[in-house]
């Protein structure tokens, strides 16, 4: 029932197996690109992880996922996404080799039934899927179901006595830390004996309810009531199955992935999971908190400077949740009502010794856009320092904003460079960063951006041509206060102002 991916397939310069593992980790709640990148099965720079996630979203693998139980939708995996995460890179095995694995399983089942100390009995074993398909010469795995029950000799023994018996006779079969009351120790011992220690990679156990619901051909290969191994004919479906259950989806397939010419900026929502996938001073930060050095006792810097906390605002709902309570009018400003995570997002800050405890009425707006011309591709990032009243950002908050911008610029640079490899003619890539707001604070932010040379932002792109991609930071000494930002952002600001 599994889908196989070819080991030599690649996407975004990574083996498709690693791309699958990145998506799996994100789906399971490990949304921190630093955490994902540091996993043993990934081992990649977080900017590259973010670039891969953004491309998977462009390919339709990330989107609305519906919770069947509660009927609610949330941002997760589409069917295409599940097609990739459910795939395996295990090589398909010839059916004759798979039969040897199955025969060994049946022999161990017979051994369990003949061991008087094991409390459970292997009653029946069913096989289905490619293993019983006469048109298939190889298999991705062996789909099987084992039905078991308590042996007759132990049925009159109370549960507590059976558990005590299992713990005395099979202590080496029980996982460390198992709770005799909560954990099913009898099943642990049964499976350990059935698999001969570790389960063979080809063995894919299922439950009986799944086999009934599938309403697919199956074969009974082991029946304890008839002495063990049997050679029954293949049935069109399980005898207790009447029809395919409505909850059973069609078999998923591995989607075809491609990097298209068009591109949207990487979704800032990938940075919302309490993370700051940034590199600073050669060390990766594992959360989205930039902690400045603690002030000295004779310093006049307050504790607020030491504990800034940035929160990505990628949707109007985020803004209402985190800012509306502290805004003077209670209504969202127009510039926050149009954030979408891609073309515009915001960074809101909380202050105090307990980050996240309260939101401050201040934010930084980040606008982004991608312009693809025949010979030059331009990625624009405009950072606007705003807020209510005469609020001033601390040095640590500006540093936090720089890191967020650097992360997204690095990820989008990877994506543009990947497209450049497919361009029919030579194309130059410019990643342009601008800023606006109070002059002294803009100068401070731009100085920080200037401290990020191209080789630092794009260091994860080991094969990139230095002449192909450039990081251009607006000069803090330029006449930006008398000249409007780029036409793209000027038009956007005008549209927002007219709302």
Q: What is the DSSP string of 155-170?
A: TTS-HHHHHHHHHHH-
Q: Is 228 left (phi over 0), alpha (psi -120 to 50) or beta?
A: left
Rounded to whole angstroms, the Cα distance separating 291 from 464 reads 32
- The residue to which tokens 């048109």 are assigned: 135
Least confident of 122-136, 158-172, 188-202, 399-413: 399-413
Q: Is the pLDDT of residue 286 over 60?
A: no
Burial class of 15 by CB neighbour count within 10 A (0 to 12, 13 to 18, 19+)? middle
Torsion, Cα of 482, 397, 328, 381 (10° steps): 50
Using DSSP's 3-state secondary structure scheme, residue 147 falls into strand
Relative to beta strand 72-77, strand 14-15 is unpaired
481 — pLDDT class (breaks 50, 70, 90): very low
Relative to beta strand 3-4, strand 87-88 is parallel
- pLDDT score recorded for residue 251: 61
Q: Is the pLDDT of residue 59 over 90?
A: yes
Q: Which two tokens stand for residue 200?
A: 């063979």
The answer to whether the beta carbons of residues 276 and 22 sit under 8 Å apart is: no
- pLDDT score recorded for residue 303: 32
Residue that wins the pLDDT comparison between 296 and 179 = 179
Angle between helices 185-195 and 95-114 (to 10 degrees): 130
H helix intervals, 170-295: 185-195, 208-214
Compute CA distances 19 → 53, 62, 260, 448, whole Å: 9, 13, 17, 32
Question: What percent of the chain shows pLDDT beyond 70?
Answer: 76
Three-state SS string over 31-42 comes to CCHHHHHCCCCC
Give Cβ neighbours of residue 109 (< 8 Å, ≥ 6 apart): 122, 125, 146, 194, 222, 228
Bridge partners of 312? 347
- pTM for the structure as a whole: 0.69
Bridge partners of 384? 365, 436
Q: Is the pLDDT of residue 306 over 90?
A: no
Tens digit of each residue's pLDDT (9 = 90 or more) over 178-221: 888 788 999 999 999 999 988 998 898 999 998 999 899 999 99
Using DSSP's 3-state secondary structure scheme, residue 366 falls into strand
Cα angle: 137, vertex 141, 145; to 5 degrees = 115
DSSP 224: G
Residue that wins the pLDDT comparison between 57 and 256 = 57
The closest alpha carbon to 129, from 4, 255, 256, 254, belongs to 4
- pLDDT score recorded for residue 326: 66
| Other residues' Cβ atoms within 10 Å of the Cβ of residue 174 | 16
Mean pLDDT of 268-290: 49
Question: What percent of the chain shows pLDDT beyond 90?
Answer: 35
Q: Is 241 left (phi over 0), alpha (psi -120 to 50) or beta?
A: beta
Rounded to whole angstroms, the Cα distance separating 22 from 18 reads 6
Mean pLDDT of 351-377: 73
Mean pLDDT computed over every residue of the chain = 79
Least confident of 246-250, 285-289, 327-331, 418-422: 285-289
Mean pLDDT of 164-185: 89
Domains and CATH numbers, the chain: 3-88 (1.10.10), 93-229 (no CATH), 268-497 (no CATH)
The closest alpha carbon to 279, from 14, 54, 45, belongs to 45
Relative to beta strand 142-150, strand 203-206 is parallel
Tens digit of each residue's pLDDT (9 = 90 or more) over 389-446: 566 788 878 888 888 888 899 899 999 999 988 888 888 888 888 888 888 888 888 8
- pLDDT score recorded for residue 379: 93
Q: Which two tokens stand for residue 160?
A: 């507590």
């Amino acid at each position: 029932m599994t889908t196989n991916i070819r080991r030599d397939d690649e996407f975004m310069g990574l083996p498709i197996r690693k791309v699958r593992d990145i998506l799996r980790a994100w789906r399971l709640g490990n949304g921190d690109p630093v955490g994902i990148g540091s996993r043993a099965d990934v081992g990649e720079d977080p900017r590259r992880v973010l670039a891969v996630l953004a491309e998977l979203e462009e390919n339709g693998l990330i989107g609305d996922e519906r919770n069947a139980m509660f009927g609610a939708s949330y941002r997760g995996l589409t069917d295409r996404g599940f097609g990739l995460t459910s795939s395996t890179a295990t090589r398909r095995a010839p059916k004759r080799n798979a039969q040897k694995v199955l025969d060994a399983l049946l022999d161990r089942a017979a051994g369990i039934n003949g061991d008087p100390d094991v409390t459970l009995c292997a009653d029946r074993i069913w096989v289905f899927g490619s293993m019983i398909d006469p048109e298939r010469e190889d298999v991705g795995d062996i789909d099987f179901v084992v039905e078991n029950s308590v042996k007759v000799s132990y049925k009159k023994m109370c549960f507590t006595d059976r558990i005590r018996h299992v713990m005395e006779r099979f202590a080496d079969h029980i996982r460390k830390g198992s709770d005799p009351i909560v954990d099913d120790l009898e099943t642990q011992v049964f499976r350990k004996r059935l698999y001969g220690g570790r389960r063979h990679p080809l063995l894919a156990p299922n439950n009986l309810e799944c086999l009934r619901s599938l309403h697919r051909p199956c074969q009974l290969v082991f029946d304890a009531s008839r002495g063990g191994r049997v050679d029954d004919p293949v049935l069109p479906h399980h005898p207790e199955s009447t029809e395919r259950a409505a909850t059973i989806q069609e078999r998923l397939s591995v989607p075809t992935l491609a990097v298209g010419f068009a591109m949207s900026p990487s979704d800032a929502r990938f940075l919302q999971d309490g993370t700051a996938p940034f590199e600073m001073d050669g060390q990766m930060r594992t959360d989205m908190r930039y902690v400045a050095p603690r002030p000295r006792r004779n310093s006049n810097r307050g504790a607020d400077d030491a504990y800034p906390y940035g929160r990505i605002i990628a949707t109007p709902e985020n803004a209402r949740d985190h800012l509306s309570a502290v805004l003077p009018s209670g209504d969202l400003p127009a510039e926050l009502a149009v954030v979408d995570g891609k073309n515009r997002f915001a960074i809101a800050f909380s202050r105090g010794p307990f980050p996240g405890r309260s939101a401050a009425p201040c934010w930084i707006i980040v606008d982004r856009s991608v312009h693809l011309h025949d010979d030059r591709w331009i990625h624009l990032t405009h950072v606007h320092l705003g807020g209510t009243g005469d609020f001033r950002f601390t040095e640590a908050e500006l540093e936090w904003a720089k890191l967020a911008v650097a992360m997204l610029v690095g990820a989008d640079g990877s994506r543009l460079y990947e497209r450049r490899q497919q361009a029919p003619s030579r194309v130059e890539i410019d990643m342009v960063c601008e800023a606006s707001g109070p002059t002294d604070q803009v100068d401070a932010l731009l100085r920080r951006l200037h401290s990020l040379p191209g080789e630092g932002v794009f260091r994860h792109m080991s094969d990139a041509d230095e002449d192909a991609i450039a990081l251009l930071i607006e000069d803090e000494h330029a006449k930006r206060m008398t000249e409007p930002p780029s036409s793209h952002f000027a038009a956007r600001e005008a549209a927002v102002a007219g709302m």
